[in-house]
Amino acid sequence: MPFNTALTRALGIQIPVVQGGMHWVGYAELAAATNIALHVTALTQPTPDDLRKEIRKCRSLTNKPFGVNITLLPSLMPPDYGAYVQAIIDEGVKIVETAGNNPGLVIKPLKEANIIVIHKCTTIRHAKNAVKLGADFLSIDGFECGGHVGEDDLTNFILLSRARQALGVPFIASGGFADGHGLAAALALGAEGINMGTRFMCTVEAPIHIKVKEAIVAAQETDTALVMRRWKNTTRLYANKVAKEALKVETESTTGKFEEIAPLVSGKRGQQVFIQGDVDSGVWTAGQVIGLIHDIPTCADLLVRIEREALASMKRTGSMWVDESYTSRL
């Protein structure tokens, strides 16, 4: 086993890579295909009972460790998070990734059930709060990521180093990772592994239309847009026609009412993109890492490649140290 990190030890995995929760993407088929089947995404399921079925489906497809993502987002009519958490507990899930606002609502009952909690956050301030609430790992989410990037615009090079300096619990790196070179860099900065979302979208097993995957392969790192900053709910999206239209309305509106762009950023429209393959018919999230993605491998092939690249990268940097006697003179 080439890797021995706090993440591999705690989760019982061989490669310190996890698949992040992704709305309309994180279903059982993709979760079961990854190194650690993280994560079935809870809110892709319309009800807690549907989540129970999806967890059971995932269990039937893999004997690997797997978990569930549950994200708390601002909403006028929030889902019954307590019922989703209870479904997770009842089904014997051992790993949960939490994200979003006020995670104490879900972390407390999860910890009471002895579940490993990985909380995703975009600032050290939020990470420290999650530690107080009992999170076992922090997933440090840099500004490069797709989806909700936070409002502080902190890239991973700084954010991970701050996490190393300031946090008393292990953390993994999220946002901007697609290969083994990134994994080696994250480990060097103090992380115990990496979390990938957009990269896993562009795999054979990802349950989204091939045209979306082809759009990711064709994209450059500059092909994303930040939308909804005006309402402090900044989201990084693939810069298609609808995202650009939403951004134009947002910046030019004199009323500042979210209702003006709500139809454009509808999650249901985004879901249809993944089903029908018209990449310009709705908004969908993607990180800047799209510029690093050039193929559509199976999850198994991708993970073998990441392992090989990471080990080669660490061997290369190790070879740069040429004077072994130097340490005795320090």
The pLDDT score that the predictor gives to residue 37 is: 46
Confidence of residue 179 (pLDDT cuts 50, 70, 90): very high
Look up residue 180 and give its two tokens: 């083994």
Out of 37-41, 141-145, 194-198, 288-292, least confident range: 37-41
214 occurs within a structural domain? no
219 occurs within a structural domain? no
DSSP 8-state secondary structure symbol assigned to residue 20: P
**269 and 169 in one domain?**
no
Out of 21-35, 79-93, 200-214, least confident range: 21-35
Residue predicted with more confidence, 5 or 321: 5
**121 and 25 in one domain?**
yes
**196 and 252 in one domain?**
no
318 occurs within a structural domain? no
Using CA of residue 30, residue 26, residue 178, residue 14, what is the dihedral sign? Answer: negative
Count up the domains in the chain and report the number: 2
**300 and 260 in one domain?**
no
216 occurs within a structural domain? no
16-44 mean pLDDT: 69
Confidence of residue 320 (pLDDT cuts 50, 70, 90): confident
- Tell which phi-psi region holds residue 120, choosing left (phi > 0), alpha (psi between -120 and 50) or beta: beta
pLDDT digits (tens, 9 = 90+) for 198-242: 999 999 989 899 999 999 999 999 999 999 999 999 999 999 999
**268 and 150 in one domain?**
no
**262 and 128 in one domain?**
no
**267 and 149 in one domain?**
no
**11 and 147 in one domain?**
yes
Tell me if 144 sits within 8 A of 156, measured CB to CB. Answer: yes
**299 and 158 in one domain?**
yes
The pLDDT score that the predictor gives to residue 58 is: 83
283 occurs within a structural domain? no
**255 and 167 in one domain?**
no
The pLDDT score that the predictor gives to residue 30 is: 66
**78 and 138 in one domain?**
yes
**232 and 180 in one domain?**
no
305-311 mean pLDDT: 96
161-172 mean pLDDT: 95
The CATH number that applies at residue 135 is 3.20.20.70
End-to-end CA separation in angstroms for the chain? 33
32 occurs within a structural domain? yes
263-271 mean pLDDT: 87
Residue predicted with more confidence, 61 or 310: 310
Quickly list DSSP for 55-124: HHHHHHH-SS-EEEEEEE---SS---HHHHHHHHHHTT--EEEEEES-THHHHHHHHHTT-EEEEEESSH
Q: Which domain holds residue 171?
A: 6-207+295-307
80 occurs within a structural domain? yes
83 occurs within a structural domain? yes
Give the whole-number percent of the chain exceeding pLDDT 90: 64
Cβ burial 50-71 (10 Å sphere, 16+ → b, else e) = ebbebbeebbeebebbbbbbbb
